[in-house]
Amino acid sequence: MSRELPTSLLMFIASRAAAGRIFTVVREAGFDDVTMAQSRLMMGIDADGTRLSVLAERAQIAKQTATALIDRLERAGYVERVPDPTDGRARLVRMTARAEAALPIARDEEERIEAEWRAHLGPDLMDQLRTALTSLREITDPHG
């Protein structure tokens, strides 16, 4: 007997599939020294930089794990640590030009995924999905 999957799991399956596609395309474009775990952490970096503790929280991993992943990304040239202008004791993790060079590749794949989903669901259902998920973000994303 099969049960109906919970909505949260259905969202996770779709999200995981999209993330996997984006990760694969970026690796195939030559950015093949980043792991999936590192890429998930990098997704949480804001344009002006983000504190490591916030990155760990966003990725739902231990700060020690985030530190190790950021250390490797820094050695590979994808991120740098810079002083936080709002707190002289703190540091921000910021993407380097190397990481930013991968962003258009990732965004192009995001657009292809959106187009495929829109073609599959139809414009009305896709718009409803986006509206519903945007509304859910209000109660599920503490950083939104």
The helix/strand/coil state of 82 is: strand
Q: Which domain does 126 fall in, by range?
A: 7-140
Q: How far from 101 is each of 95, 126, 135, CA to CA, in Å? A: 10, 29, 32
What CATH number should be reported for the domain holding residue 124?
1.10.10.10
> Is the predicted pLDDT of residue 4 greater than 70, yes or no?
yes
Tens digit of pLDDT for each residue in 24-40? 999 999 999 999 999 99
The residue whose two tokens read 């002083």 is 83
Give the count of domains, the chain: 1
Considering the domain boundaries, does residue 2 fall inside one?
Answer: no
> Is the predicted pLDDT of residue 100 greater than 80, yes or no?
yes
CA separation for the pair 84, 90 (Å, rounded): 5
Q: Exposure of 48 by Cβ count < 10 A (0-12 exposed, 13-18 middle, 19+ buried)?
A: exposed
CA separation for the pair 47, 139 (Å, rounded): 23
